[in-house]
Structure 1
Amino acid sequence: MSGTEFDELVRDLKGIERRVAREIVPGWRTVTVSASVAVLAALSLLPVMPGVSGWQLILHVADGELDRVSSIARGFAVLVLVTSVFSLLAIIVRRWGLALIALAGACLSAVFGLLGVWSQNTMPGYADATPTLILAWVVAASLIPQWVPLVWAHSALDTPSDDRRGRSS
């Protein structure tokens, strides 16, 4: 094998290594993430507040009822939608960057969901949270343990090898 063929082979192998390092292998988590997203989609059709469904919160089309919904609960509805979209994209294209965004969205959704339930139940003038909102919060939070191992596993693959750091063996 000549020097140019060897250099070309090394370049090809490094390109393959970069492509593989960007991918995730969700395995059985594909089913659980997809089921969670399907449940969140179904919950968006149900009323999350008396007289207001999840999709109405996202689109701001509830006539006069939005005054009784906290902005935190509205933010939660939008975050759930964004997290669901990025979760499905990450599962379909198997890219680590999308999985990281899905994890961040799930974490934010969990926080906003908790604050949304709390604000709806404790602040005067707002409608009480329905079990649908509470269930949506629990399902959104359940995405976190699905994404953490996939995102965490990438860290070991992403560290530069000794030859790229300039060290010789």
Structure 2
Amino acid sequence: MLGPVSEEEYLRKEIDAVEQRAAKRIDPGTGALTISIAVLALLVSLVLPWIGDDTGLNVVLGESASFLPRLFSFFAFGIGVLGSGITLAVRRWGLAWVCALGLFAGSVTGVLSIWTQQTTTSNKTIGPGPGIGLVIAVIAVIVLLVKWVKIAASRPPQL
């Protein structure tokens, strides 16, 4: 027969439960401001030209652009804007890693998007060239990548 639970045991269980919940959460600290500014830069890049005269909104909606810029736009706005917003709201450690890994893929496709717009063959340009909006978006994604990796990697090890 089990006797009544002592107050000390009850408090120990409650403290352990709080500790487990806290271990799953992140504290972005001042990094949240940097993340917010980078997300704002991504949103501003929507109205700026990305490829030739096509704005970022045209690329996101698929009205124009080649495969890599469209793929980059999905990473930038899916993970960079929506993922960052959700992760800052719920502050889960696992989501911080999802953002970090997704933004790594986004930064690679972003740099490749710029490169494919600058590639030449026999002194003739293939593409219209990257616009300022695409460059700003890639820089913002790289800033977000650095911040999310730093936040995700800051979790203390579980013993």
Q: TM-score per shorter chain, which class?
A: 0.7 to 0.9
Whether contact under 8 Å (1:70, 1:120) holds in the other structure is no
Whether contact under 8 Å (1:86, 1:102) holds in the other structure is yes
Structure number with higher relative contact order (C-alpha < 8 Å, ≥ 6 residues apart): 2
Q: What TM-score comes out, normalization by structure 1 length?
A: 0.81
3-state SS in 1 of match to 2:154: helix
2:67 is matched with which residue? 71
Whether contact under 8 Å (2:48, 2:56) holds in the other structure is yes
Unaligned regions of 5+ residues in structure 1, if any? Answer: 162-169
Whether contact under 8 Å (2:55, 2:133) holds in the other structure is no
3-state SS in 2 of match to 1:73: helix
3-state SS in 2 of match to 1:75: helix
3-state SS in 2 of match to 1:48: strand
Q: What TM-score comes out, normalization by structure 2 length?
A: 0.85
2:143 is matched with which residue? 142
The Cα RMSD (Å) is: 1.8
Q: Deviations over 1:92-120 (max 9, x none)?
A: 22111221111112211110111110111
2:38 is matched with which residue? 36
Q: d(CA) in 2 for partners of 1:3 and 1:141?
A: 56
1:166 is matched with which residue? none
2:130 is matched with which residue? 129
Please give the residue correspondences for 1:15-30 in structure 2 after superposition, counting only pairs within 5 Å.
15-30=17-32
Deviates more, 1:110-119 or 1:8-17: 8-17
Q: 1:125 to 1:149 in 2, by over 3 A?
A: closer
The alpha-carbon deviation at position 25 of structure 1 amounts to 0.9
Q: d(CA) in 1 for partners of 2:47 and 2:24?
A: 35
Q: d(CA) in 1 for partners of 2:141 and 2:150?
A: 16
2:108 is matched with which residue? 111
1 or 2, which has the higher helix percentage?
1
Whether contact under 8 Å (1:23, 1:96) holds in the other structure is yes
User: How many percent of aligned residue pairs carry the same amino acid?
Assistant: 25
Unaligned regions of 5+ residues in structure 2, if any? Answer: none
| Structure 2 residue 43 is the aligned partner of structure 1 residue 47 | no
3-state SS in 2 of match to 1:4: coil
The alpha-carbon deviation at position 16 of structure 1 amounts to 0.6
Q: d(CA) in 1 for partners of 2:22 and 2:150?
A: 17
